[in-house]
């Protein structure tokens, strides 16, 4: 199943520091998350470890994130297992919780 990982920069009090939020969107458009991380490096480590995203691809995304851009990474994974490994509940989504 094709799942998009969307990483958005989140400003902090320090303008040189960006947090990162991670949201997953499956093929049907169902959203999971967001999960908030201290920085892009934490998101990258989780995507590399749990979804097998190559370091080179994450390095390119890192520079876009530092510029304040949204980053989308396409993942080919088994839906429920991937969602749970990445730290999301496979039974709840942002849309189901009324969040957006």
Q: What does the alpha-carbon distance between residue 90 and residue 68 come to, in Å, rounded to a whole number?
A: 29
Q: What does the alpha-carbon distance between residue 42 and residue 62 come to, in Å, rounded to a whole number?
A: 11
pLDDT value of position 99: 43
Residue 77 in 3-state DSSP?
A: coil
CA-based torsion, 93, 90, 85, 6: positive or negative: negative
Residue 22 in 3-state DSSP?
A: strand
pLDDT value of position 78: 74
As averages over each run of 10 residues, the pLDDT of the chain (100 residues) reads 92 87 92 94 95 93 93 85 81 46
**Does the model's pTM come out above 0.85?**
no
- Helices 40-51, 55-66: crossing angle, 10 deg rounding: 160
pLDDT value of position 96: 43
pLDDT value of position 43: 96
pLDDT value of position 12: 87
């Amino acid at each position: 199943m094709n799942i998009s990982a969307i990483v958005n920069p989140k400003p902090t009090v320090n303008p040189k520091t960006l947090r990162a939020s991670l949201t997953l969107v499956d093929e049907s458009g169902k959203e999971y998350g967001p999960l908030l991380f201290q920085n892009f490096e934490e998101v990258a480590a989780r995507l590399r470890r749990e979804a097998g995203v190559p370091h080179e691809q994450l390095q390119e995304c890192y520079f876009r994130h530092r510029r304040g851009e949204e980053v989308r990474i396409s993942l080919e994974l088994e839906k429920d297992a991937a969602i749970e490994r990445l730290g999301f509940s496979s039974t709840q989504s942002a849309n189901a919780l009324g969040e957006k």
